[in-house]
A and B are shown apart, each in its own frame.
Chain A
Amino acid sequence: MASAPTSKYNSHSLENESIKRTSRDGVNWDLSEAVPRLPGETHVADKEVIYICPFNGPIKGRVYITNYRLYLRSLETLSSHWHFEADACVFQDSALILDVPLGVISRIEKMGGATSRGENSYGLDITCKDMRNLRFALKQEGHSRRDMFEILTRHAFPLAHSLPIFAFLNEEKFNVDGWMVYNPVEEYRRQGLPNHHWRITFINKCYELCDTYPSLLVVPYRASDEDLRRVATFRSRNRIPVLSWIHPENKTVIVRCSQPLVGMSGKRNKDDEKYLDVIRETNRQISKLTIYDARPNVNAVANKATGGGYESDDAYHNAELFFLDIHNIHVMRESLKKVKDIVYPNVEESHWLSSLESTHWLEHIKLVLTGAIQVADKVSSGKSSVLVHCSDGWDRTAQLTSLAMLMLDSFYRSIEGFEILVQKEWISFGHKFASRIGHGDKNHADADRSPIFLQFIDCVWQMSKQFPTAFEFNEQFLITILDHLYSCRFGTFLYNCESARERQKVTERTVSLWSLINSNKDRFKNPFYTKEINRVLYPVASMRHLELWVNYYIRWNPRIKQQQPNPVEQRYLELLALRDEYIKRLEELQLANSAKLSDPSTSPSSPSQMMPHVQTHF
């Protein structure tokens, strides 16, 4: 009685049930004894440890390490007083389960030395890519820590030990093949391409024009392959402007590329200038091509020193350039680090909002969304075609084009449409997933790592919050994508570009994440989804309307109310099912007793006595 409750008490009947029924992807309270195994997953070691749970204190358990996961089951059951805060009756006599794919491990450190005194101070501290840390205390005797450290290092960072990533060992079978989801020719055909102004080119068939681009590209009809080669020499890493999306009615387009190689001397390239004008002319109504440079102005200028730069007014008469002020991968990485600092293991309570503000995470989200809204608005209004680039055109550019496409084209808001969007704008166009995530790589401090894709998914989540009926998928879909961004169970996000994936025969040798999702779609469906064609979504990108995605970033904290499945979705589905059942029973009744039931429409009609006839504003 002494302290005010600062905890949540989970006491909704539906909510309780959902905890018992479904496994939370990390910490799990379960009565079954079996350690889960995927086909192709093999046991490596098991050991008794003490798991230092930041929320419940030290718990003795047995850890099982396989070539895919670290799995811990507590040996003691949690007595209720440990879990005074949560609902005791649910957790009583249940074991604590930790189920962590080794792919999420970013760093393994030894803590404490031979002389360490205090209890549980000798062991391993594991930093994960998904906003949590795991600590295990081990006995000092018998090299137990060294053994576990080595086993974990070997299997969490297979690249350094010439071992295959688990995706290549995974033998899971699904009844749908996720690799078939994206077929570029079909997707461009859906967009009405090729047409009079745009053609499909195979110039990059063997990745000789640009090794980080897909093999199939859509370019202006009037630009010859020779033109494209000359433009490539003037664009960073040969990433030439190519079509991402075309408006079905006004035929304005979104084109993506990398920065022009202007350099300190302000170099120009006639072919590039002409090429941009050709793009503009694919739509006769527009007088200017709009260029959105995703970077802050100063960064774009600074890039000249390393040979890059931006399109100047003098050289590109028929273009207008705007900077979108989105910061680079290093800024985003540091921002997310600060978010982790205030949410894990303990949530910064006393100045929550100003602490959150000082991470700048939501501000970055706002800038990305604002940029995408501008792109979408230009195209949807038919005012201008848009060219988007940043430096290399594989981080911020991918965020902007994919988000704008999501706003413009309702197709991408379906489950398969979204998979195609990710497959197209991110995977095929060379977002460097391997470098940004560091799959199987032990170099945790690599400056190439950055949560760019996570930031994109966060933006999608913000949009889905603002438009609850516009997306076919639910929050669980987005979280599942993020979990397998790191897990290495599927081949979907492996490697930096299509050419590397082809060399490694990824589609033949690994399973696609979309196989898992599409074979069990119901779990990922938003019951409120209403299919709409041709509706452009403009989210409100004001700070007032953005929220921290608590169910993702703070999901490990048991005090955060997080229910999967979402009780509202669940209840809605129940109502739907109930209605269907009633309709069925009603039909049966009518059939059996058609004579008696002459008037089924007995819904009580509201009395006609009403409020005043004028529109009243109180």
Chain B
Amino acid sequence: MEFSELIRTGRAQAELLRGPGAPPLRGTLCVTGHHLLLSPGPQATSDLWLLLLRSVDSIEKRVAGDSGTITLRCKDLRVLQLDIEGVEATLDIARSIEALSSLESVITSFPFFYRPKGLRLGDAWHFHPPEHYYKRVARETNAWRLSEVNEDFSVCPSYPRAVIVPRAVDDDALARSARFRQGGRFPVLSYHHAPSGTVLLRSSQPLTGPQKRRCAEDEELLRAVLAGARPGARGFIVDTRSAQAAKQARMTGGGTEAKAAYPGWKRLHRPMERGRPLQESFVRLVEACGDLEQSMDRWLSRLEGCRWLAHVKEALSTACLAAQGMEREGACILVHGAEGTDSTLLVTSLAQLILDPLSRTMTGFQELVEREWIQAGHPFQLRCAHSAFSHARPKHEAPTFLLFLDCVWQLGRQFPLSLEFGEGLLLALFEHAYASPFGTFLCNSEKERCLCEVRTRTHSLWSGLNQPKEQRKLRNPLYVLNPLAIWPSVEPQSLRLWQGLFLRWTRPPEPSEAAWEKVWQIVTDKEKTEGSQPTVSASEPQP
């Protein structure tokens, strides 16, 4: 397919309004295969303005007289307005943007064409292969092994080719356990908590069905987990559905672990919202935040009515529960809901941030996102196809990953020194998850990424972000290594609206940026003086 078929017009004169704070831009507007470009006249000094078409969430056009207006609502929640000369030109440009921004083919998407200077293809993809995390686990315990039973993605299409499993369980048993779990997602290790010698596992629901089927290998697998931890160890299964919902799932072939079948394991239900209600909550919140016209006397109850903060609270407290089980009760934890690709990952990744100081470093957090979200098979392409502005009825969209980022932001707010990265990284991950020139968040699973050759034909976001010039935006200059667990307060008055994201384009950002800049100044001054003599500060983390 040729992009040129979809481009209805070459160029037009336009003025771009970018919201409060940014001056309007005038120039020649141009649509290309992947971008919307505005090049200011030759006398202007400012740069070319460029928008990735993929980041357009919804488009609205109006014509009046001999000109038109296009309103672009972007996936990063920005709202842009283009005033265009000529009715035909307006309509043509609108149609082109509509067609190009909704292309579904992965291999014609921009990451396959993006060739930034200074980065080499394939550079950073091998930063975080499953082997990398396994090496760490193997240093801490001998009870686990790296299995390649899924090497060709036939056992579980949404798992990576290698997963960490109990040493005592062989690949055949794994394959049989996989047949007993939805989508083949048999229990695998998510995190080994060395201080208490316990583990965090994740899976999908067991396919017990109305007949309450059992699977000996699945039971054996969980028994081996407890045996590998320490004699007499207990386990908790954190089911992210209500007891009733879990029971109902039996009617459609799913279900939960029967108590008698899994001695030593106890089931806990912590219902978490997912799917459409979560997406609707996101849409309502963005609507409320963008509603500048209406009187805002009822803002607080409207904010409460959006239920977004309630979801933040649910996610954080379920993660606390899992983390508490490992740290304080010395228990092993298995987390699953139904498919095990959404709220499950939310809980396991947050629990690790709470417990594991390494996951709070810059590289550790990137590894966590790579391992617990991307390689763990969170279907990014389906979930992030549209953001909050789309008029289309949501099919598979859900802001689970954004909810994760919001929870991390809350942790960072409550523990301002304990995360090595700052709000900048979280904002970047949000943007790139929804639309990106990099290949990291493309596709729904490792299998698909493999088929599309994403790893060899696109650049990794991590190489983009880890360039020295990006660091100031992404790092937390106040960071000090905190070896302890960070237990967040989940009481409502401790949780805030993430203004930096939800009010990002409507508030003046300068004052807080000034404070940030000041801290950076002092840190770079310090590092400069440090750099010129051999001593190393004790507070610097040594990975």
Determine if B493 and A347 form an interchain contact, defined as CB atoms under 8 angstroms apart. Answer: yes
Q: How far is the CB of B353 from chain A (nearest CB, A)?
A: 13
Q: Report how many residues on chain A are interfacial, defined by Cβ distance under 8 Å.
A: 72
B518 interfacial contact with A, CB 8 Å: yes
Q: How far is the CB of B191 from chain A (nearest CB, A)?
A: 18
Whether A618 contacts B55 in the complex (CB less than 8 A), given A9-B487, A585-B533, comes out as yes
Binding-face segment, A199-207, A218-226, A560-568: A560-568
Complex contacts, B50 vs chain A, CB 8 Å: 614-617
Determine if A353 and B304 form an interchain contact, defined as CB atoms under 8 angstroms apart. Answer: yes
B248 interfacial contact with A, CB 8 Å: no
Q: How far is the CB of A367 from chain B (nearest CB, A)?
A: 11
Whether A1 contacts B324 in the complex (CB less than 8 A), given A544-B503, A579-B525, comes out as yes
Cross-interface CB contact of B518 among A343, A530, A579, cutoff 8 Å: A530
Complex contacts, A540 vs chain B, CB 8 Å: 507-508
Chain B 494-516 interface 0/1 with A at a Cβ cutoff of 8 Å (1 = within): 10110100010001100110110
Closest-by-CB residue of A relative to B299 is A543
Cross-interface CB contact of A611 among B116, B482, B491, B499, cutoff 8 Å: B116
B522 interfacial contact with A, CB 8 Å: yes
Determine if B299 and A616 form an interchain contact, defined as CB atoms under 8 angstroms apart. Answer: no
Determine if B300 and A571 form an interchain contact, defined as CB atoms under 8 angstroms apart. Answer: no
Chain B 175-213 interface 0/1 with A at a Cβ cutoff of 8 Å (1 = within): 000000000000000000000000000000000000000
Complex contacts, B105 vs chain A, CB 8 Å: none
Binding-face segment, A54-62, A109-117, A446-454, A598-606: A598-606
B492 interfacial contact with A, CB 8 Å: yes
Complex contacts, A579 vs chain B, CB 8 Å: 522, 525-526, 529
Determine if B528 and A603 form an interchain contact, defined as CB atoms under 8 angstroms apart. Answer: yes
Complex contacts, A10 vs chain B, CB 8 Å: 487
Determine if A347 and B529 form an interchain contact, defined as CB atoms under 8 angstroms apart. Answer: no
Cross-interface CB contact of B486 among A5, A11, A363, cutoff 8 Å: A11
Q: Give the complex CA separation of A582 and B331 in angstroms.
A: 46
Determine if A467 and B532 form an interchain contact, defined as CB atoms under 8 angstroms apart. Answer: no
Closest-by-CB residue of A relative to B437 is A618
Complex contacts, A43 vs chain B, CB 8 Å: none
Whether A603 contacts B531 in the complex (CB less than 8 A), given A572-B478, A618-B52, comes out as yes
- Contacts of B512-542 to chain A: CB distance below 8 A: 512, 514-515, 518-519, 522-523, 525-533, 535, 537
Determine if B526 and A575 form an interchain contact, defined as CB atoms under 8 angstroms apart. Answer: yes
Cross-interface CB contact of B117 among A351, A554, A572, A610, cutoff 8 Å: A610
Q: Give the complex CA separation of A554 and B489 in angstroms.
A: 14
Q: Give the complex CA separation of A7 and B139 in angstroms.
A: 34
Complex contacts, B499 vs chain A, CB 8 Å: 544-545
Complex contacts, A568 vs chain B, CB 8 Å: 416-417, 478
Determine if A575 and B491 form an interchain contact, defined as CB atoms under 8 angstroms apart. Answer: no
Determine if A612 and B116 form an interchain contact, defined as CB atoms under 8 angstroms apart. Answer: yes
A162 interfacial contact with B, CB 8 Å: no
Chain A 335-361 interface 0/1 with B at a Cβ cutoff of 8 Å (1 = within): 000000001000101011110110000
Q: How far is the CB of B420 from chain A (nearest CB, A)?
A: 13
- Contacts of A1-42 to chain B: CB distance below 8 A: 1, 4-14
A548 interfacial contact with B, CB 8 Å: yes
Whether A611 contacts B118 in the complex (CB less than 8 A), given A543-B297, A618-B55, comes out as yes
A589 interfacial contact with B, CB 8 Å: yes
Determine if A357 and B329 form an interchain contact, defined as CB atoms under 8 angstroms apart. Answer: no
Q: How far is the CB of A243 from chain B (nearest CB, A)?
A: 30
Cross-interface CB contact of B289 among A544, A561, A612, A616, cutoff 8 Å: A544
Complex contacts, B138 vs chain A, CB 8 Å: none
Cross-interface CB contact of A589 among B417, B486, B496, B533, cutoff 8 Å: B533
Whether A615 contacts B117 in the complex (CB less than 8 A), given A468-B515, A544-B503, A583-B529, comes out as no
Determine if A12 and B486 form an interchain contact, defined as CB atoms under 8 angstroms apart. Answer: yes
Binding-face segment, B149-157, B385-393, B428-436: B428-436
Determine if A612 and B117 form an interchain contact, defined as CB atoms under 8 angstroms apart. Answer: yes
Closest-by-CB residue of B relative to A350 is B492
Chain A 569-604 interface 0/1 with B at a Cβ cutoff of 8 Å (1 = within): 001100110110011011001000000010011111
Complex contacts, B478 vs chain A, CB 8 Å: 568, 571-572, 575
A528 interfacial contact with B, CB 8 Å: yes
Closest-by-CB residue of B relative to A554 is B493
Closest-by-CB residue of B relative to A84 is B328
B483 interfacial contact with A, CB 8 Å: yes
Determine if A547 and B116 form an interchain contact, defined as CB atoms under 8 angstroms apart. Answer: no
A362 interfacial contact with B, CB 8 Å: yes
Complex contacts, A5 vs chain B, CB 8 Å: 317, 320-321, 324, 487, 490
Q: Give the complex CA separation of A347 and B280 in angstroms.
A: 28
Q: Give the complex CA separation of A426 and B39 in angstroms.
A: 56
Cross-interface CB contact of B47 among A353, A356, A561, A614, cutoff 8 Å: A614
Complex contacts, A286 vs chain B, CB 8 Å: none
Q: How far is the CB of A90 from chain B (nearest CB, A)?
A: 12
Q: How far is the CB of A373 from chain B (nearest CB, A)?
A: 14
Q: How far is the CB of B79 from chain A (nearest CB, A)?
A: 13
Determine if A582 and B300 form an interchain contact, defined as CB atoms under 8 angstroms apart. Answer: no
Chain A 538-556 interface 0/1 with B at a Cβ cutoff of 8 Å (1 = within): 0010111101101000100
Closest-by-CB residue of A relative to B528 is A603
- Contacts of A172-230 to chain B: CB distance below 8 A: none
B298 interfacial contact with A, CB 8 Å: yes
Determine if B511 and A468 form an interchain contact, defined as CB atoms under 8 angstroms apart. Answer: yes
A466 interfacial contact with B, CB 8 Å: yes
B244 interfacial contact with A, CB 8 Å: no
Closest-by-CB residue of B relative to A611 is B116
Q: Give the complex CA separation of A617 and B72 in angstroms.
A: 13
Complex contacts, A600 vs chain B, CB 8 Å: 532
Determine if A351 and B304 form an interchain contact, defined as CB atoms under 8 angstroms apart. Answer: yes
Q: Give the complex CA separation of A14 and B527 in angstroms.
A: 22
Determine if A4 and B318 form an interchain contact, defined as CB atoms under 8 angstroms apart. Answer: yes
Closest-by-CB residue of B relative to A605 is B468
Determine if A349 and B317 form an interchain contact, defined as CB atoms under 8 angstroms apart. Answer: no
Q: How far is the CB of A361 from chain B (nearest CB, A)?
A: 11
Determine if B468 and A11 form an interchain contact, defined as CB atoms under 8 angstroms apart. Answer: no
Determine if B417 and A571 form an interchain contact, defined as CB atoms under 8 angstroms apart. Answer: yes
Complex contacts, B303 vs chain A, CB 8 Å: 353
Determine if A560 and B533 form an interchain contact, defined as CB atoms under 8 angstroms apart. Answer: no
A152 interfacial contact with B, CB 8 Å: no
B296 interfacial contact with A, CB 8 Å: yes
Chain B 396-422 interface 0/1 with A at a Cβ cutoff of 8 Å (1 = within): 000000000000000000111110000
A534 interfacial contact with B, CB 8 Å: no
Determine if B515 and A13 form an interchain contact, defined as CB atoms under 8 angstroms apart. Answer: no
A470 interfacial contact with B, CB 8 Å: yes
Complex contacts, A597 vs chain B, CB 8 Å: 532
Determine if A606 and B118 form an interchain contact, defined as CB atoms under 8 angstroms apart. Answer: no
Q: Give the complex CA separation of A365 and B355 in angstroms.
A: 39
Determine if A357 and B298 form an interchain contact, defined as CB atoms under 8 angstroms apart. Answer: yes
Q: How far is the CB of A608 from chain B (nearest CB, A)?
A: 8
Q: Give the complex CA separation of A343 and B493 in angstroms.
A: 10
Q: How far is the CB of B386 from chain A (nearest CB, A)?
A: 16
Determine if A530 and B416 form an interchain contact, defined as CB atoms under 8 angstroms apart. Answer: no
Determine if B270 and A354 form an interchain contact, defined as CB atoms under 8 angstroms apart. Answer: no
A-B contact pairs, 26 of them (CB 8 A): A1-B329, A4-B320, A8-B414, A11-B484, A12-B486, A343-B493, A354-B301, A356-B300, A357-B301, A363-B297, A467-B511, A468-B515, A543-B300, A544-B296, A545-B499, A568-B478, A578-B526, A582-B530, A585-B535, A603-B532, A610-B118, A610-B469, A612-B116, A616-B437, A617-B50, A617-B52
When A and B form their complex, which 8 residue pairs have the shortest distance between CB atoms, in order from nearest?
Answer: A9-B487, A609-B118, A352-B492, A8-B489, A357-B300, A353-B304, A582-B529, A543-B299
Residues of chain B having any CB pair with chain A under 8 Å: 47-52, 55, 76, 116-118, 236, 268, 270, 289, 296-301, 303-304, 309, 317-318, 320-321, 324-325, 328-329, 331, 414-418, 431-432, 435-437, 464, 467-469, 477-478, 480, 482-494, 496-497, 499, 503, 507-508, 511-512, 514-515, 518-519, 522-523, 525-533, 535, 537
Residues of chain A having any CB pair with chain B under 8 Å: 1, 4-14, 343, 347, 349, 351-354, 356-357, 362-363, 466-470, 528, 530, 540, 542-545, 547-548, 550, 554, 559-561, 567-568, 571-572, 575-576, 578-579, 582-583, 585-586, 589, 597, 600-604, 606-607, 609-612, 614-618
